[in-house]
Structure 1
C-alpha cells in the first residue's frame, strides 16, 4: 500500500510526463520515465512547495529513482 507521500510523488510525476500513475513504481528511475533534468528540477520544486519545505536543489541530483524521492520527502516530513 502506498503512503500519502508516495501517492503525491507518483501523481506529480504522472502529471509532468503524461504516464499513467499505475505505470510508475518506486523502482523506476526518472531517466527511465523520460524525465530530463529540467522536468526533474520542476518536479522537485513542486513537491517541496506541496510539502511546505525549503528549496534544497543540491539534493536533487542524488535522487535517481521514484523511491529515492519518496524516501527523501518522508524523511523530511518526520
Structure 2
C-alpha cells in the first residue's frame, strides 16, 4: 500500500478539479427537456395539480409537442429551485 502526501492547497485544487469534471459529465448527460414524472421527481412534487399550477403560472417553462405530451425545461426547473433557495446564515 502506498501513501501519497499532498499539501493542503494541492489537495483542495485536486478536489475542485474532480468535482468540476463530474459536473461537466452530468450536464452532458442531462437532456434539455424532461418528462413530467422526472420534473416532479426533481421538484419533489407528488401531485400533478401542483406541477400544472407551476406550469400555468409560468414558474417553469414547458413544451407541448403533442396534445398529451408535456415536456419541462430542465434549466427552468433548476432556476426555479435556485430562486426559492433559502440561504444559511
Greater length-normalized contact order (CA 8 Å, ≥ 6 residues apart): 1
Greater Cα radius of gyration, structure 1 or 2: 2
TM-score normalized with structure 2 length? 0.34
Higher strand residue share = 2
TM-score normalized with structure 1 length? 0.37
